Amino acid sequence: MIKSAFDPTGFTRYQQLLDLFTVSASSWTVDELAHALGKPKSSVYRSVRELVAAGYLESAASAKYRLGPAFIVANRVIEKTDPLVVSGAAVIHSLAAAVAVPCVVVLARLYGSQVVCVADERTAGSHAPAFERGRLMPIDRGATSLAILAQARGKALANLLSATGVTDSERSAVLTDKLKEIRKAGIAVTTDEVDPGLTGWAVPVTHKGFGITASLSIVCSTDDVTDLNINELTAGLLSSGALIEKHMQLVFDEVVQVQMNTNRASNQ
């Protein structure tokens, strides 16, 4: 019985349950859940029943449970309405089409002290499994993440670094220098940091109003990189990033506009 440090209250108890359902452990019996959570079966049965009723879990074969369709429905809402995802969708599609070498175009954002990919577009012949929508990535490795990390300053940066467990002062100094370089250059480049044999370029994508801290990146095989296509590639990345930011601003202006109308109406 693996007892967790604290008895969860509120939403936490449901979160702990749901968090157990991962790609590598996608279905659980109540027994297994109870054991993993260090809780009695009767309590877990109750929580599971509630989550099943809500569509967040569903019963699968042989007394197992898996994530339910409620997530698919909510995912669509995000896909159709999230400013970053909406603004990025069209842009990453045409960027991928424009890049000459086989690659993955990735739109990623900050999620707690990690980075999560929120959109990916891959050209034929590209295999970079680490960069797919919904996948979490460490914040201190890879161009995609570093372009995001470089946007944090001062206390916020310190929090992110401490959360990832970068206590080694030497590594911390190296990282700080690297972030400084990235800020100066306006683009992050790394090779072999996430997957060996892959090189990534990333530019920051931000919207202060929406509170969005993200990055747009291209990942391709290091072998395919030549002096010739690097310029093309980085130019495309920079202009695409700017395009996404511009589009988000348009969405933002719309939202504000609607809001003002609503306020005016409700004051009458």
Nearest to 203 by CA among 192, 191, 187, 183: 187
Q: Which residue has the tokens 């929090």?
A: 159
Which one of the spans 28-36, 105-113, 167-175, 216-224 is the region binding DNA (CB under 7 A)?
28-36
By C-beta, is 106 or 248 nearer to DNA? 248
CA distance 137 to 145: 7
Contact letters for DNA, residues 31-50 (x by CB under 7 A): x-------xxxxx-xxxxx-
Residues 60-79 that bind DNA (CB under 7 A): 62-63
Residue 171 binding partner per list DNA, a copy of itself, none, with a CB distance cut-off of 5 to 8 Å that depends on partner kind: none
CA–CA gap between residue 164 and residue 140 (Å, rounded)? 8
Amino acid in the structure at residue 22: T
Q: Among 4, 7, 81, 257, indicate the residue that binds DNA (CB under 7 A).
A: 7
Given DNA, a copy of itself, none, residue 134, with its beta carbon under 5 to 8 Å by kind, binds a copy of itself
Rg value, the chain, Cα? 21
What sign for the dihedral angle of Cα 142, 214, 231, 89?
positive
If one counts every other C-beta atom within 10 angstroms of the C-beta of residue 45, the result is 13
Which of a copy of itself, DNA, none does 60 bind, CB closer than 5 to 8 A by kind?
Answer: a copy of itself
Q: Taking the complex as a whole, how short is the minimal distance between the CB of residue 229 and a copy of itself, in angstroms?
A: 28
* Shortest distance, position 244 Cβ to a copy of itself, whole Å: 16
- What is the DSSP secondary-structure string of 95-147? HHHH-SSSEEEEEEEEETTEEEEEEEEE-TT---TTSSTT-EE-TTSSHHHHH
Q: Which is nearer to DNA, 29 or 123 (CB)?
A: 29
SS3 221: strand
Terminal alpha carbon distance of the chain: 61
Instruction: Please identify, using beta-carbon distances, which residue of 46 and 93 lies nearer to DNA.
Output: 46
Q: Least CB distance from residue 126 to a copy of itself, whole Å?
A: 17
Question: Rule CB under 8 A: which residues touch a copy of itself?
Answer: 10-12, 14-15, 18, 21-23, 26-27, 46-47, 50-51, 53-56, 58-62, 66-67, 69, 71-83, 109, 111-112, 116, 118, 132-136, 209-211, 252, 255-256, 259
Q: Which is nearer to a copy of itself, 83 or 241 (CB)?
A: 83
The two three-digit tokens of residue 221, written as one number: 């095989």
Distance CA 85, CA 78 (A): 8
Partner from a copy of itself, DNA, none contacting 132, C-beta within 5 to 8 A by type: a copy of itself
Amino acid at 206: T
CB of 209 to DNA, least distance (A): 9
- Residue 82 binds which entry of a copy of itself, DNA, none, with Cβ cut-offs from 5 to 8 Å by kind? a copy of itself
Residue 40, amino acid? P
Q: Kindly state the tokens that stand for 240.
A: 């695409």
Given the rule CB under 7 A, which residues bind DNA? 7, 9-10, 13, 29-31, 39-43, 45-49, 59, 62-63
